[in-house]
């Protein structure tokens, strides 16, 4: 919950940082199967705006909903939770 508690927030891992001021964030969530009652891992990818290009692959970030920034970007990187341990 951010900015007056109205905007959705998600936590995920950066999987691509090749674009200018944009990162692709993979968000995983667990859902229970309706019939078999087994937990299934669902994944979604979101393009998020990163104005300072500070995120790299492997970083754990929080993204929040925003107005449309481009054709595919509707999210912003609001905070960097954990830096990647991978050396580039």
- 68-86: per-residue pLDDT in tens? 999 999 999 999 999 988 7
Nearest residue to 76 (alpha-carbon basis) of 49, 53, 55, 42: 49
**Coil, helix or strand for 3?**
helix
Model pLDDT for residues 32-50, shown as the tens digit of each residue: 999 999 999 999 999 999 9
pLDDT at 2 over 60: no
Domain 3-82 has CATH 3.40.710.10: no
Residue 27 has pLDDT above 90, yes or no: yes
Q: What single-letter DSSP state applies at residue 34?
A: T
Q: Does the pTM exceed 0.95? A: no
Higher-confidence residue: 6 or 80?
80
Strand partners, 42: 29
pLDDT tens, residue by residue, 9-19: 999 999 999 99
Token pair in block for residue 5: 């508690």
Mean residue pLDDT across the chain: 93
């Amino acid at each position: 919950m951010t900015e007056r508690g109205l905007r959705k927030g998600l936590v995920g891992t950066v999987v691509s940082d090749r674009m200018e001021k944009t990162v692709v964030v993979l968000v995983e969530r667990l859902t229970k199967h309706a019939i078999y009652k087994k937990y299934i891992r669902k994944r979604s990818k979101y393009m998020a705006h990163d104005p300072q290009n500070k995120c790299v692959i492997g970083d754990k970030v929080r993204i929040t909903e925003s107005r449309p920034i481009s054709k595919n970007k509707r999210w912003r990187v609001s905070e960097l939770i954990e830096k990647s341990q991978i050396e580039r």
